[in-house]
């Protein structure tokens, strides 16, 4: 399992890396133990997590989503066929932890893509955002399944043989403490990534609102009348018309008085 985790950490970098080679994937599968007593064999059912797509290959994002969905269904099937022995439970818990690790890494990569294309390519951003919502849903479903597995495993421990339980108590506590610490760290990283993503979305929304506000102001200033300027123009025209009318009346009266005056002369 250490080799599997080391392999996973090395494979994830700033970009999604090349796909597993046959030899590496064989080692990946051999890191899991076999479920017996009617349960499906994990070695044959582990689906290949394909992280080989490039940053522009959205069809591979879809394939990755499908592969996560298949592995989640396998995990749910293991939950339905509840393990009966410690070995079976160990296999299921290892499978669950490996799945969670890869799901968190995929969510982290998708969050990075969202940040990368947020201000550079709106089309790609919307496409990745859609896949991000799908991965969030898968994460929610996995967390529900994981809680059920943990609950049933605790119940299995409580009702298992006391002699065996006390014999392996120290090892079990150390293992569970380590697993709990790793899970807690992964949960914190996942929550931090989601919080950062939500913060970026809020900032982007604020920028959009600011652009809309500036655009509306520009439209108002460009296309609507300036009320004060309009009032000044109206007052000027009315004053001019009154002056012209007064001049015309004055000239008319002048000619009338001139005519009357000439008659008396």
8 Å CB contact between 132 and 154 = no
How many residues can be counted in the chain? Answer: 265
Is there a single domain that holds both residue 119 and residue 242?
no
Quick one: which of 82, 10, 4 has its CA closest to 40? 82
Is there a single domain that holds both residue 6 and residue 102?
yes
Residue 243 burial (C-beta neighbours within 10 Å; 0-12, 13-18, 19+) = exposed
Final residue of a structural domain among 220, 240, 255: 220
Q: What integer pLDDT is reported at residue 190 of this predicted model?
A: 78
Q: How do the residues of the chain divide into helix, strand and coil, expressed in percent and rounded to 5?
A: 80, 0, 20
**Collapsing DSSP states into helix, strand and coil, what is residue 188?**
helix
Is there a single domain that holds both residue 236 and residue 132?
no
Is there a single domain that holds both residue 73 and residue 185?
yes
Is there a single domain that holds both residue 75 and residue 183?
yes
Q: What integer pLDDT is reported at residue 173 of this predicted model?
A: 60
187 is in which domain, residue-wise?
A: 2-220
DSSP states of 55-114: TT-HHHHHHHHHHHHHHHHHHHHHHHS---SHHHHHHHHHHHHHHHHHHHHHHHHHHHHH
Q: How many CA atoms lie within 13 A of 125 on its CB side?
A: 13
Q: What integer pLDDT is reported at residue 54 of this predicted model?
A: 46
Is there a single domain that holds both residue 233 and residue 210?
no
Q: Over its length of 265 residues, how does the chain's per-residue pLDDT go in tens digits? A: 443 334 333 433 333 333 333 343 333 333 333 333 334 444 334 444 444 444 445 666 777 778 888 888 888 887 777 777 878 888 888 888 888 888 888 888 778 877 877 777 777 778 878 888 888 888 888 888 888 888 888 888 777 655 554 455 555 566 666 677 777 787 787 788 788 888 888 888 888 888 888 888 777 776 666 667 778 888 899 999 999 999 999 888 888 888 888 877 6
Count of the separate structural domains present in the chain: 2
Tell me the backbone φ, ψ of residue 66, rounded to 5 degrees: -65, -40
Is there a single domain that holds both residue 6 and residue 33?
yes
Q: What integer pLDDT is reported at residue 206 of this predicted model?
A: 87
Sequence-ordered list of residues with C-beta below 8 angstroms from that of 36, at least 6 positions apart, any chain: 85, 87, 88
Q: What integer pLDDT is reported at residue 121 of this predicted model?
A: 74
Is there a single domain that holds both residue 143 and residue 258?
no
8 Å CB contact between 108 and 186 = no
Is there a single domain that holds both residue 103 and residue 45?
yes
Q: What integer pLDDT is reported at residue 155 of this predicted model?
A: 80
Is there a single domain that holds both residue 116 and residue 214?
yes
Is there a single domain that holds both residue 252 and residue 168?
no
Residue 186 burial (C-beta neighbours within 10 Å; 0-12, 13-18, 19+) = middle
Tell me the backbone φ, ψ of residue 84, rounded to 5 degrees: -115, -15
Q: What integer pLDDT is reported at residue 161 of this predicted model?
A: 55
Is there a single domain that holds both residue 79 and residue 205?
yes
**Collapsing DSSP states into helix, strand and coil, what is residue 125?**
helix
Sequence-ordered list of residues with C-beta below 8 angstroms from that of 72, at least 6 positions apart, any chain: 99, 138, 141, 142, 145
């Amino acid at each position: 399992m250490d080799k599997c985790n080391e392999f996973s950490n090395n494979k994830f970098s700033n970009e999604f890396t090349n796909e597993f080679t046959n030899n590496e994937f064989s080692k990946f599968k051999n890191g899991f133990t076999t479920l017996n007593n009617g349960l499906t064999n994990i070695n044959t059912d582990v689906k290949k997590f394909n992280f080989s797509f490039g940053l522009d290959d959205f069809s591979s994002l879809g394939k990755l989503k499908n592969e996560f969905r298949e592995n989640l269904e396998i995990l749910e099937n293991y939950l339905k066929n509840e393990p009966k022995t410690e070995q079976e439970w160990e296999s299921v818990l290892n499978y669950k932890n490996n799945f969670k690790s890869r799901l968190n890494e995929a969510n982290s990569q998708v969050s990075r893509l969202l940040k990368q294309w947020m201000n550079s390519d709106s089309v790609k951003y919307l496409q990745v955002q859609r896949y991000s919502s799908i991965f969030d849903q898968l994460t929610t479903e996995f967390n529900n399944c994981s809680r059920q597995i943990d609950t049933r495993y605790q119940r299995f421990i409580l009702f298992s043989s006391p002699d065996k339980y006390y014999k392996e108590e120290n090892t079990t506590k150390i293992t569970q403490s380590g697993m709990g610490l790793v899970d807690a760290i992964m949960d914190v990283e996942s929550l931090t990534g989601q919080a950062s993503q939500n913060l970026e979305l809020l900032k982007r929304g604020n920028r959009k609102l600011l652009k809309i506000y500036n655009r509306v102001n520009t439209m108002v200033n460009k296309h609507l009348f300036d009320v004060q300027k309009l009032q000044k123009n109206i007052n000027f025209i009315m004053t001019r018309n009154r002056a012209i009318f007064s001049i015309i009346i004055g000239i008319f009266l002048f000619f009338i008085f001139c005519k009357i005056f000439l008659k008396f002369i």
